[in-house]
Structure 1
Amino acid sequence: MTTFTTDTTLAAAPKILILGATGPTGRHIVNQAVSRGYDVTLLVRSPEKAADMKGAKIAVGDARDEKVLRQAVKGRDAVISALGTPASPFREVTLLSTATRALVSAMKAERVARLVAITGMGAGDSAGHGGFLFDKLIFPLLLRKVYADKDRQEAIIKGSDLDWTIVRPSVLNNKPRHNTIQTLTDLNQFRGGSISREDVATFVLDQVTTDRWLHRSPLITW
């Protein structure tokens, strides 16, 4: 377990592409990236949803389209994927893996190496560490198919030769950020937790300019 106080000191102004920018966590990432002085481009399907995001460039298109992704990622230093999908108890979910496969191909073609992707507690080897309510009720009844696609998404990222970091937040909330969070890779003693979307955004943005968690998939929580 690592406990740290987030540091928003900026040594440079990276050029980043953000996917999933209009989601509730993505919006915090955009706002914080702009406030740090980053050169921010958003890829969105519905530009009207991003109309209030000042200080960012808007690219319009489907994140599953490799041609669109190549145009959006060209000239960027890093990509942040905050893509999400609603709970789907019955229908198969493929959005995350399909978009990630296209993104990896586009990044390789455009020689952009740095990828920071948000998945979630319950993905990969963090499965079974969400606490009783999450593991026994929410996950199997509502999120099983979503997390099957998150697992495919993670496998695609880990199988690439990109400079990736996968971030697995615990249960997300909309509370003010604490600034001090835990980053866990050993989950033996961990059973559930929560974290604010603001803190997730800060941690994710910090990974753009550090190799501290390169090729690792920490779970972050309060």
Structure 2
Amino acid sequence: MARTDRLMRLMDTLRRLPAPVTAARLAEETGVSARQLYRDIATLRAGGALIDGAAGLGYSLTEDPALPPQSFSRLEIEALRLAVESLAGIGDQDLVAAGRDALARIVATLPERQARQAMHAITRCFPQTPHRSAPSVDLAPIRAACWDEQALLIEYVDLNGRQTRREIWPLGLSYSDQSLMLLAHCRLRMDYRVFHVNRIAAVRLTGDSFRPRRVALVRDYAQARREHANRGTR
């Protein structure tokens, strides 16, 4: 691999992986020896890259306006365009706008040739006929509760028309062209539940935190789903 490509791959790896990244992981991701990795880190630092850390501690990259702009392959640019355009078929208005703004900022940092490629990508997502009912509640507090691990009090109308009030620990939103769902741990049933967001009539933050349980709850839910699927294939 050419030296320039190797250094670019190292920069991309430092941007992509959660910091701090061990030297062993960086060497594995970039396909070089540990000795070569240390030389490449030194080269990037000499060129102005702000890389904190040391051998045995891990490394983290601090972005700086003086650094060269990040680079993407043509296929990566196509993937980004397709992902953002597909939001119009499955996302809510705030998510669609956020995706377009993020892509515009990414394109603005690309070299001129790649910026032109991003504007004229060959992949397109054709508009879909909307099938999903729009939610009647603001999604902002639901997203905030998921991010901040805060309990929610919701009023929910089930498929039989019964209205109940639930305290839940919201874990994440699931989007498709047919439905918008909220995965949560219901404190009434003390079990996982998936709620249709368009059937949530009201939502309120309670101020109660369930941090740091979200990651473990999502992991346990995913494991239970896998075990259920495995039983079904036997």
TM-score calculated relative to the size of structure 2? 0.29
Query: Whose RCO is larger (CA < 8 A, sep 6+)?
Result: 1
- Structure having the higher Rg: 2
TM-score calculated relative to the size of structure 1? 0.30
> Which of the pair is proportionally richer in helix?
2
